[in-house]
Amino acid sequence: MQRVASAAEVETGKLTVVTAGGRSALLTRIDGRIVAFANWCPHLGLPLARGQLDGKVLRCPWHGSRFDVCSGENLDWANAFIGIPMPGWTHKLLAMGKAPAPLETLAVEERDGEVYVAPPTRGKQRS
């Protein structure tokens, strides 16, 4: 695990972008507990930092896939285009051959006012 932020930076209802192991990750606070997940969507690998967070559900800003950020469970798959909901017949096209997949959740620990995260295993490597 690697220190990525101070605990005070992580707020309920907001996404905090951090870097762990050279890869981007997101933090938020759910019911007082910090959760961490990779900052890339399992659909096409695009960043989730501008996604819409509603409680523990994050909607990807690109094609609308929704994920439970605590468990990583995929709740809905590719149903929008840049935030605009699309009719059902377009969903297979939007999926672009990708099967629904979960979000990569990360082990996280809050200790002495600091946040420690296990780095994502995939996603764009930052230099």
**Residues near ligand FES, by CB under 6 A:** 41, 43-44, 46, 60, 62-63, 65, 78
Q: Which residues contact 111 (CB under 8 A, 6 or more apart)?
A: none
Compare residues 23 and 63 and give the one whose CB is closer to ligand FES.
63
Dihedral sign for Cα 36, 7, 31, 63, please: negative
CB of 101 to ligand FES, least distance (A): 10
Compare residues 34 and 78 and give the one whose CB is closer to ligand FES.
78
Backbone phi and psi for residue 51, each to the nearest 5 degrees, phi listed first: -70, 165
Residue 66 is encoded by which pair of tokens?
């929704």
Backbone phi and psi for residue 122, each to the nearest 5 degrees, phi listed first: -135, 180
Compare residues 61 and 110 and give the one whose CB is closer to ligand FES.
61
CB of 54 to ligand FES, least distance (A): 16
